[in-house]
Structure 1
Amino acid sequence: MLGVVRSLNRLECVTETLRAALNALASAAPEWLRMHADPAWVERYDRRASDYDVPQGEAKRRAHAEQIGRDGHQLLAAITAPGAPTWLREIPAVELLRQVWLQNFCLVDKALPAGPEAGEPGEAARLVQWRTNQEGLAPSLLMAASPYDPEVHYAKKRSTTWIGYKVHLTETCDEGGPHLITHVETTPAPVVDRDALEDFHEALEAKGLLPDTHLVDAGYVAADQLVASRKKGVRLLGPAPKDYQWQGQSGEGFTVQDFLLDWAREVATCPAGHQSKSWGPDYHQGRTAFKVRFSTTDCRPCPLKPQCTRSGRRLLTLRPREEHETLEAAREREAQPTFSKEYQQRAGIEGTISAGVRTLHLRRSRYIGLAKTHLQHVLTAAAMNLIRLGAWFAGTPLARTRQSAFTGLMTLPISA
């Protein structure tokens, strides 16, 4: 979902943020700004930021960025000075300027050369430095991407990158009735799909529309979400996360399923009959897991080692028991022929998204801000529901998935 703003890189964003703050101050406090603005800023910030105006070469680009950083710090210092009107700090463009400068610049202390007298120490100066990955950058969910819509953020999904939001749709797919959109959720773009699922279920539950089976794509399926959905009485049906370890990908190695897990004793037994040496908790990105380690004394001489591990000993990473067993059950269910037949019903939502994008311009926001963009999505969904209700009352059958002429020809039965 693209925001209704120009796509900016980091350097363009900081430049445009300072320009927006200067324009806001020129309207709100013109006399104060004339007294404190550097005349050189007129040439630097008289037109919108463009990469065309940035000098080429990494060193020159960095120097250009740090000049903008010094200008912004000079303006912020004047705004926060003791004699400045305190209400200047409450101007939204000024507050955003402060946030963007914290995210993109840092102040470093550097000693100046010694004085003329021998042995006289140099003074310390604070220099504005352009942030890189080495100094640390804010996560995309917090990093401002545009001064004109602070709620748009940069996101990437596989090969697609964009600045804006995400929209999620839930619809009915029961036989004998119209397929209606029951809930619309708009989130910041960097929010991963599975982290938004709980909000969907809570909203649907509040409406009395919580489904018995919820068909979703792979992005919404995770071990913890399978457990949480089941506790709400919802069977989450979608492609389960794959085992991407080389043992599982090769089809010839020993996966976690080949180990006997004694959860009560916290002991794992490998296919060769050796027991684990340790079983302890591990916390990563707010999620709980368990690291199960085997002994190098057992692993290194083991004849099954080439099928088990490429390091000195085998290490297993386990989710909590309920999540582990639920995920294993989901993978087994996915391997059954009935899964693909039941999951085919989800193709309808792809048609809904396609219709929303092609006919109602669902992929582009018309408004600034998350709240107004969400309102646009709700109205779009309402319009689609009205169209579908009209077709259903008129007796118009649901359209079939379109096929190419060649595919249609080859699927026809051969006459005798």
Structure 2
Amino acid sequence: MSLDTTRTYVVPDQTAQVARALFPTGTPVMRLYDDLHMVVEDRDFADLFPARGRPAEAPVRLALATLLQFREGLTDRPAADAVRTRIDWKYLLCQELADVGFDHTVLSEFRTRLLAHGAESRLLDATLELARGRGLLKGGGRQRSDSTHVLGAMRTMSRLEVVGETLRRALNALATAAPDWLRACTTPTWVERYGLRASEFRLPKSEAGRRAWAVQTGVDGFTLLALATADGAPPALRDVAALETVRQVWVQNFLVEHGPEGPRVAWRTNDQGPPSGRSIGSPDDAEARYATTGATVWSGYKVQLTETCDEGTPNLITNVETTTAAVSDDATPSTIHAALDARDLLPKTPIADTGFVNAALFVDARERYGVDLIGPTRGDRPWQVQAGAGFAARDFAIDFAQQRATCPAGKGSQSWTLALARGTTPVIKIKFAVADCQACPLRPQCTRSTSARRAITIRPEAQHEALRVGRAREQTADFAAEYARRAGVEGTIAQGVRSSRLRRTPYFGHAKTHLAHLMTAAVMNLARLLRWLADEPKAQTRHSAFARLHPLAA
């Protein structure tokens, strides 16, 4: 399939005449051609197609149809119908009125081609380059980030349903890849157990019956895995991805115990399972994960949006990160900064909420990228701070060069030990002498320890200083004014939720879900560019009728 990059796109006279008659002032879709000149060109996708082969459908038309599809929340078939029947779509795609468009499967093939070539962000990048070319986007300035949950496309399952459905899907995949081999390895009783979709309605009701069912399913799964990896197994089985899912799900849900009577399969208890960041909750989407944030509980993914927020330019989404639901927000700022740096769009002042901020990130942002990360730090939790009396770690004088701390009573520390908090975070544990603490008149304000010995834990020097400066800055009016800008990104998330179902993915898997988020961001950028070029003012924060009665409180 080859690509002709010499095509030119001009709206046919008849198409333009009918479109103008129906829409005298134009539509947002028509303005994509009139004001933004179709956004992309065929040569932007030349590297995705071979030099020889039958002519491919014009990638410009596929790209624009894909953007319109996400703009209106259409699946492939209705989107292909719109290409064939919608006058404003024909206007943008420069089609004759009688042009029948293309089969709906071409849209799926185009998305697959983007993913296969690592070009999933190409349309978002095209919107950013369009804005940059018009002087509406540049590096420096301010950008803000926030995240929201994304519900996976799979149904929620119990653990018993997960193992049953995982084995059923694997058996169906093997029945296609190696039917004769599978027929010889299984019996009709397997059809009774795994022929229908796993459901709580079909599972035993008693606890003993459910446990017996789970153990038998575990035995069958281990047997299938052993046969599939044995010498003489068909080579085609190596390409069956469902078998790897079985292996992972079985490790997470079953134990093989070795006793006097030989190995025995046992069902793991809930506290023996993997952490949520690794646990597979559905074979339909083995990459989706379970998570909770406040009162929100979901299985799926999380999306982080970063956008510009300076006066005098439109607010444009500059980066999109999609992670599993179990990934914390503070794991992504370095990735976001690296992606923005690669686009030459690194801000001078990134603004984010507490979830995206910690001492290590303050240091990383400043030392690696030269940016001033702004956001509220997590508060001190020791009882001395909570009670508003006594001496917290911040009240101790720290001499990093001498590796020594001095308490408020003037006593020096006895030990200085490097350690890891929760196994991952570098900290310094400082302890004071028992004799000094026992005789100290300030002891009740310093420690409740029964050993009468004070110990404090601090971060390494750069992080300790960054945290101190950050907490001091939070108390200033300048910080409050700067941080107030962050709230606008919540409006961007709300826009994505309303217009493009940002919190629900129609796809299975991380890659396709991320592609959908990138398309959504590209569509939102185009809408914002069109509004900016039409001199529409930015939306202002809305207040309820009651809140407007007391403007100072609002």
Structure 2 equivalent of residue 181 of structure 1: 317
Q: Displacement, 1:58?
A: 4.6
User: Is 1:74 paired with 2:214?
Assistant: no
Farther-moved stretch of structure 1 (313-322 vs 156-165): 156-165
Partners in 2 of 1:77 and 1:295 — Cα distance? 60
Structure 2 equivalent of residue 32 of structure 1: 181
Kept in 2, the 8 Å contact 1:89–1:95? The answer is: no
Partners in 2 of 1:329 and 1:51 — Cα distance? 55
2:503 to 347, 360, 363: 363
Structure 2 equivalent of residue 260 of structure 1: 397
Q: Which letter maps to 1:261?
A: I
User: Is 1:347 paired with 2:502?
Assistant: no
Structure 2 equivalent of residue 273 of structure 1: 410
Structure 2 equivalent of residue 326 of structure 1: 466
Q: Which letter maps to 2:445?
A: Q
Partners in 2 of 1:9 and 1:302 — Cα distance? 57
Structure 2 equivalent of residue 314 of structure 1: 454
Instruction: Tell me: CA distance 1:266–1:56, structure 2 relative to 1, closer, same or farther (3 Å).
Output: farther
Q: Which letter maps to 1:278?
A: S
Q: Displacement, 1:388?
A: 0.9
Partners in 1 of 2:551 and 2:277 — Cα distance? 48
User: Is 1:295 paired with 2:447?
Assistant: no
Instruction: Tell me: CA distance 1:64–1:315, structure 2 relative to 1, closer, same or farther (3 Å).
Output: farther
User: Is 1:403 paired with 2:543?
Assistant: yes
- SS at 2:373's partner residue? strand
Partners in 2 of 1:58 and 1:245 — Cα distance? 44
User: Is 1:385 paired with 2:525?
Assistant: yes
Kept in 2, the 8 Å contact 1:55–1:61? The answer is: yes
Q: Which letter maps to 1:103?
A: Q
Partners in 1 of 2:303 and 2:510 — Cα distance? 11
* Matched-pair identity in %: 51
Structure 2 equivalent of residue 8 of structure 1: 157
Q: Which letter maps to 1:273?
A: G
Partners in 2 of 1:268 and 1:207 — Cα distance? 44
Partners in 1 of 2:300 and 2:168 — Cα distance? 21
Partners in 2 of 1:11 and 1:161 — Cα distance? 20
What does 1:120-135 correspond to in 2, within 5 Å?
A: 124-132=261-269
Partners in 2 of 1:398 and 1:84 — Cα distance? 64
Partners in 2 of 1:110 and 1:14 — Cα distance? 24
User: Is 1:163 paired with 2:303?
Assistant: no
- SS at 2:457's partner residue? strand
Deviations 1:124-173 (A, max 9, x none): 31101112355x43333332222122211122223322111111111011
Structure 1 equivalent of residue 342 of structure 2: 206
- SS at 1:108's partner residue? strand
Partners in 1 of 2:208 and 2:430 — Cα distance? 48
- SS at 1:51's partner residue? coil
Structure 1 equivalent of residue 18 of structure 2: none
Partners in 2 of 1:203 and 1:373 — Cα distance? 18
State the aligned residue count: 400
Structure 2 equivalent of residue 336 of structure 1: 476
- SS at 1:40's partner residue? helix
User: Is 1:248 paired with 2:385?
Assistant: yes
1:104 to 232, 253, 266: 253
Instruction: Tell me: CA distance 1:259–1:68, structure 2 relative to 1, closer, same or farther (3 Å).
Output: same
Q: Which letter maps to 2:406?
A: T
Partners in 1 of 2:181 and 2:387 — Cα distance? 69
Q: Which letter maps to 1:210?
A: L
Partners in 2 of 1:289 and 1:192 — Cα distance? 20
2:443 to 278, 281, 305: 305
Kept in 2, the 8 Å contact 1:154–1:162? The answer is: yes
Q: Which consecutive residues of structure 2, in runs of 5 or more, have no partner in the other structure?
A: 1-149
Q: Which letter maps to 1:27?
A: T
Farther-moved stretch of structure 1 (155-164 vs 200-209): 155-164
TM-score normalised by structure 1 residue count: 0.92
Partners in 1 of 2:455 and 2:270 — Cα distance? 31
Partners in 2 of 1:153 and 1:351 — Cα distance? 26
Farther-moved stretch of structure 1 (57-66 vs 267-276): 57-66
Kept in 2, the 8 Å contact 1:80–1:86? The answer is: no
- SS at 1:237's partner residue? coil
Instruction: Tell me: CA distance 1:57–1:316, structure 2 relative to 1, closer, same or farther (3 Å).
Output: farther
Q: Displacement, 1:287?
A: 2.1
User: Is 1:227 paired with 2:363?
Assistant: yes
What does 1:140-155 correspond to in 2, within 5 Å?
A: 140-155=276-291
Q: Report the aligned-residue RMSD.
A: 1.8
Partners in 2 of 1:328 and 1:371 — Cα distance? 40
Kept in 1, the 8 Å contact 2:177–2:236? The answer is: no
Partners in 2 of 1:252 and 1:358 — Cα distance? 48
Structure 1 equivalent of residue 127 of structure 2: none
Kept in 1, the 8 Å contact 2:178–2:236? The answer is: no
- SS at 1:13's partner residue? helix
Q: Displacement, 1:56?
A: 4.2
Partners in 2 of 1:59 and 1:277 — Cα distance? 58
What does 1:51-90 correspond to in 2, within 5 Å?
A: 51-56=200-205, 58-90=207-239
Instruction: Tell me: CA distance 1:276–1:133, structure 2 relative to 1, closer, same or farther (3 Å).
Output: farther
Deviations 1:45-68 (A, max 9, x none): 122222333334554433332121
Q: Displacement, 1:412?
A: 8.6
Partners in 1 of 2:322 and 2:399 — Cα distance? 43
Which has the bigger relative contact order, CA under 8 A and spacing at least 6? 2
Q: Which letter maps to 1:281?
A: L
Q: Which consecutive residues of structure 1, in runs of 5 or more, have no partner in the other structure?
A: 112-123
Instruction: Tell me: CA distance 1:67–1:225, structure 2 relative to 1, closer, same or farther (3 Å).
Output: same
